[in-house]
Amino acid sequence: MRVLYVYCHPLSESFHAAIRKEALAGLAEAGHTVDLLDLYAEGFDPVLTAERRRDYHDPARNRANNQAYADRLMAADALVVQFPTWSFGPPAMLKGWFDRMFGPGIALDLSDPSHAKPTLMHLRRITGISTYGRPRWQAIGMADPPRRIIKRYLRWFTGSKASVNYYALYHMNVATDAQRGRFLAKIRRDMARF
């Protein structure tokens, strides 16, 4: 399976770097082909400029403005999105990627604006991997937007047919080494079964 692995964390020495290492090792064990899209390392521009916003509703121009990243998304059979949760949402860098990729001419057909149609029917799996600085109960109190983005929003673009998994380490700031180690082991094991 071809996996587009979207990684969003600015620090190479972070716990997220350790998560990514284990996830990629698991996917390699399973024999998958991985296209690693490291948004920070690649210098992705998350800003929806005035020009891009004007072009947004024109599918051909919107696609052309995002061609390189759109091609990578269209070549994938599965999508893995890894990110920290900041202020109960994804980092601005990742939100910008969502804003640019999940629009007309890429993930969405808006030829009839009253009946938007998803176009990522080729994606069979979506996985989200995130960490939270707060405990789960606080995330639930805020309706846990990152979990909903992965499990509901992104899945809609596949015609609601892709299988979805979501892995979260809550209250990471006080997690013990043992808790972090168990999370890393689970990610590696589950990615090896991907």
Distance CA 95, CA 48 (A): 11
Calculate what percentage of the chain has a pLDDT beyond 70. Answer: 100
**pTM score, two decimals?**
0.96
3-state class of 153 per DSSP?
A: helix
Beta strands 117-118; 108-109: pairing state: antiparallel
pLDDT (tens digit per residue) in 24-52: 999 999 999 999 999 999 999 999 999 99
Sketch out the chain's domains with CATH numbers: 2-192 (3.40.50.360)
Residues counted in the chain: 194
pLDDT (tens digit per residue) in 59-88: 999 999 999 999 999 999 999 999 999 999
pLDDT (tens digit per residue) in 140-189: 999 999 999 999 999 999 999 999 999 999 999 999 999 999 999 999 99
Model confidence at 93, pLDDT cuts 50, 70, 90, reads very high
Distance CA 193, CA 155 (A): 20
